Structure 1
């Protein structure tokens, strides 16, 4: 694997994006009903969380593209990014 250096700002954006994705999943699990049975308040909160997730993912992707290292080594780059975000013990979660 090529030596890939990940800036801390990208690692932080990765953690933020992952936390936003987990917030959506946690919200869905907490309701424990089919989405068609959600109340308006539950749906509004889900929509808010999903919008935050999409914004965090877009910000991460834009920063990755601006960094310019990912081209031609996407898999290795993403693994290096997660390792930078979560440490040496990161096992691909």
Structure 2
């Protein structure tokens, strides 16, 4: 289960790399998520992969907000900050 600190790293990385992320094509986006998962795993000693709920969560899709923390941060992404 995601901790508040892990989610904050995830959100901040996605925000910081927003312009770059939208220039990536399909497979490169998968590599982006794998790289972000690796960064979080190294920092927190976790074993997330680029293919689990991380991508759904960060894209603001309902299946990615199965926890209280997921619900908390889902709202931040549902505002679609990257389009502003």
Q: Which gives a bigger RCO, structure 1 or 2 (Cα 8 Å, sep 6+)?
A: 1
| TM more than 0.5 | no
TM-score scaled by length of structure 1: 0.35
> Which of these two proteins has the greater Rg computed from alpha carbons?
1
TM-score scaled by length of structure 2: 0.38
